[in-house]
Structure formats: C-alpha cells, structure tokens
Amino acid sequence: MEKMLQIKGHIIRDDILKRIDASCVQYNGTYRVLELIVGKAVDDLSSAKIAIEISEEGFNLILNELTNLGVTIPTTEVHAKLKPSEKDKTVPDDFYSTTNHPTEIFLEGKWIKAQNQRMDAVLVVKNDEVFCTKLRDVKKGDLIVCGSEGVRILQEKNGSDEHEFAFMINDVSSERRVELVVKKLAEEMKAIKANNGKIVVVAGPVVIHTGGMDAFQDMIRKGYISGLLSGNALAVHDIERDLFGTSLGVDLDTGKVVKGGHKNHMRAINAVNKSGSISQAVQDGTIKSGIMYELVNHQVPFVLAGSIRDDGPLPDTIMDLIKAQEAYADMVKDAEMVIMLSTMLHSIGTGNMLPSWVKTVCVDINPAVVAKLVDRGSAQAKGVVTDVGLFLTLLNQQL
C-alpha cells in the first residue's frame, strides 16, 4: 500500500530524494514526488510530498534516516514508544540509536530535548526527562525509546559565525592552503575566548616531536586552552624534554639521537613517581617547564587516558578506561570547540562523545586520520592535513 510522506527540511542540500531513492532500491520499493517547493534563500527550508510504495521495514528505515537528518515529518508527532530494559546493559532489539545531532522526544504531548547528546547512545526516559545513555549504563527496568516514532532531530542554527567556520572544507587533502585555515581558526578562537567559551585540545606526542610545544605553551599562557585530553605518552615526552632535553631519547634541539637517551623516558616516569603526581612534581620544582608545567601553573585541567602500550604509566594516567571515558566526557561538556592534534586514538575517542554542534578541528599530517574520524560519525570535524608543529607556530602567531 502506498504511504504518503509530507516532509520539510533541507531537501536539496541533504540529498533527501537521493536517500529515499536508495532506500527504495534496497527494499524494492518505488516512490513518486508529488510536490517539491524549494525555499527562496539558500537556508530556507524546502517541503515535499512524496508517495512511497515499500515494505513496512523499508518505510521505517526511511523515517529513521530522515529523522536523523532533521527532516520534519508531521506524522511523527505521536508519543514515543517506550519499552523497559529487561537486564542491565541491554535494551530491546528495536532500540533507537542516537546520532550526535540535537534530538527531541515527543512525550505526553510535548517535545523534550535529550540531554548529554552523543552518538551511539540509547535514550532513557526518567521523570519526564530524556538522557542519552551509554549501553553499559542502562539498568534493568530503564525505559528505552524504541523505533523512530516520536523522535525528531532539530535543525542546527546556521548563524553567521557558523558560516565563517564552514569555510574550512571537509575535503581531506594535503594540497590545501593551510594558512587560510589558520587565519580563520584564530579568529574563531578569539571570538570564543571573548565570550568565555570553552576550547578543549586533544593532543598526541607528535606536538612535542614536531616542535609545536612552544607555541602550545604560549596558547596556554594566553588563556586559550580550557582543557587538555591526551594519553600517557604526551605527558612523559613533555616531562622528559624538561628534565633531560630529549623526547624518547632524541635531542629536541638538534634532532639527533642521544647516546643512552632512550632510558630518559623511564627516568622521567621515575621522577614523577617520586614526587607523587605531575602537579606535585611542578610544585616541588622537579618539573620546571613544558606543557604539563603550564597546565598546572595556569590551573588548566587535563585528563590522561591509559592505553595498552603505556610504559609506566605516570601516576596521573587513568588506566581504568571506564573512568577515563567519563573524565573525557566531563571535560568536553559545554565545549564550544575541540581541536584535535595528531592522535587518532584519542580523537576518535573524543569524537564519539561530542554533539554535532561543537566546532571540531582535526589536524594531522596523515589524511587517513581525518577520514577515519569523519567515517566514525564525527561529520562535523574539519580536517587540516599539515605539519602540526608549523601549524601551531603559525596559529599562535595570530592569537
């Protein structure tokens, strides 16, 4: 039986017709466009009336996809379907899996905005509130939103700032004018700082190897950095550099391997262990400069997440990854911008937690890192394929 779909949204920009077409192909359906009214201005919404002949499963899939793209479907203003979890950490099979876009649920006659928006979560309803909840945090009896009825995605605002930022194209290539990107990013950062907004940096040890640490430390001192997310390696390399002038045994001033320098890595960890923690090592004078030093001195919080390849680790490195993920999620809460510098592991980890409206920039010399981040769902991430050290130097010059 033919179903009628009356939709409103960015039908052209978001390839809505092409997507419906693809679903019809996958499910052996057909469709006819009865009406299509395109908005005058580029950001106006379009509306369409489409007749679809397809199986129930196919139709639900289309509804779900359109919902996730922010298309308004009038018929969805029905009460969301709720089912209880039958066992801790599990949900009914037809659970609604969240995107990172702002989401509302229709309950008791009104739309309620989901809290803690993030991708790949389930929606738990508690006392008229709705929470994006990780599967592992679901408790038996929790009410889970199922299907896509009564769920809608809000259009994100396209303010003028947005447009400036959107300038940074998502197309990943090393053959781009990075200078232009640096200029725009600096303007954006200044605007956020002027409004006391939060800029969180996710960084890998390459920041140190490539000589970006001087610029990065300066950015901390100037107050641009609200928090650092990283792993054990960045902190150890940074402290090794302060104590011995090397990073994994390589002299950072000459770029040459120092004889006997490899041991410096373990000596740095040993030194912090003696002090008890990084902040104590700063306070007792063991650590006298560097990224960690500046963070401690300027009371900028940091989270170091452990990994299977960690030496040591430092006492500050969180080896319980459930706790590390929670600490990361806390840090990015309310962040307006997240800058990811040369670390695929921590960038994807952070990307998983971010709602789509957080401005996200991913800088790496390897185009595959940016591509993978976007592929994993962080479609808002703007990739910059360049040398991280030079990038930070030029960025700091403009701040």
Q: Is the dihedral of CA 64, 65, 67, 72 positive or negative?
A: negative
When asked if residue 143 is in the footprint of a second copy (CB under 8 A), the reply is no
Interface segment toward a second copy; rule CB under 8 A; list 76-84, 105-113, 301-309, 330-338: 301-309
Token reading at 112: 């309620």
Nearest-approach distance from CB 365 to a second copy, in angstroms: 5
Query: Is 247 within 8 Å of 237 (Cβ atoms)?
Result: yes
Token reading at 9: 């949204």
Interface segment toward a second copy; rule CB under 8 A; list 259-267, 279-287, 293-301, 332-340: 259-267
Three-class SS state of 22:
helix
When asked if residue 131 is in the footprint of a second copy (CB under 8 A), the reply is no
Residue with smaller CB distance to a second copy, 193 or 360: 360
When asked if residue 56 is in the footprint of a second copy (CB under 8 A), the reply is no
Nearest-approach distance from CB 108 to a second copy, in angstroms: 27
Among 110, 190, 256, 288, binds a second copy (CB under 8 A): 256
When asked if residue 278 is in the footprint of a second copy (CB under 8 A), the reply is no
135 HSE (CA, 13 A, CB side): 10
Residues with Cβ within 8 Å of 306's Cβ and at least 6 positions away in sequence, in order, are 231, 232, 313, 317, 318, 319, 320, 321, 324
Burial class (CB in 10 A: 0-12, 13-18, 19+), 191: middle
**What distance in Å separates the CA atoms of residue 282 and residue 297, rounded to the nearest whole number?**
8
When asked if residue 146 is in the footprint of a second copy (CB under 8 A), the reply is no
Closest listed residue to residue 395, CA positions, set 235, 203, 253, 195: 203
Three-class SS state of 186:
helix
User: Could you identify the residue written with the tokens 């969805």?
Assistant: 76
**202-to-187, 206, 339, 362 alpha-carbon distances in Å:** 20, 12, 6, 9
When asked if residue 316 is in the footprint of a second copy (CB under 8 A), the reply is no
Residue with smaller CB distance to a second copy, 44 or 110: 44
307 HSE (CA, 13 A, CB side): 15
Interface segment toward a second copy; rule CB under 8 A; list 7-15, 69-77, 106-114, 281-289: 7-15
Q: Which of residues 232-251 bind a second copy (CB under 8 A)?
A: none
Nearest-approach distance from CB 250 to a second copy, in angstroms: 9
- Interface map 317-356 toward a second copy (x if CB under 8 A): --xxxx-xx--x----------------xx-xx--x----
Residue with smaller CB distance to a second copy, 206 or 220: 206
When asked if residue 315 is in the footprint of a second copy (CB under 8 A), the reply is yes
Among 116, 289, 307, 398, binds a second copy (CB under 8 A): 307
Interface segment toward a second copy; rule CB under 8 A; list 75-83, 185-193, 294-302, 316-324: 316-324
Interface segment toward a second copy; rule CB under 8 A; list 69-77, 101-109, 164-172, 331-339: 164-172
Nearest-approach distance from CB 62 to a second copy, in angstroms: 8
Q: DSSP secondary-structure letter at 260?
A: T
Residue with smaller CB distance to a second copy, 17 or 112: 17
Among 9, 70, 102, 306, binds a second copy (CB under 8 A): 306
90 HSE (CA, 13 A, CB side): 6
When asked if residue 22 is in the footprint of a second copy (CB under 8 A), the reply is yes
When asked if residue 169 is in the footprint of a second copy (CB under 8 A), the reply is yes
Closest listed residue to residue 382, CA positions, set 169, 101, 156: 169
Count of chain residues binding a second copy (CB under 8 A):
102
Residue with smaller CB distance to a second copy, 150 or 212: 212
When asked if residue 374 is in the footprint of a second copy (CB under 8 A), the reply is no
Q: Which of residues 379-398 bind a second copy (CB under 8 A)?
A: 385-387, 389-391, 393-394
**377-to-67, 131, 202, 289, 352 alpha-carbon distances in Å:** 16, 20, 17, 37, 8
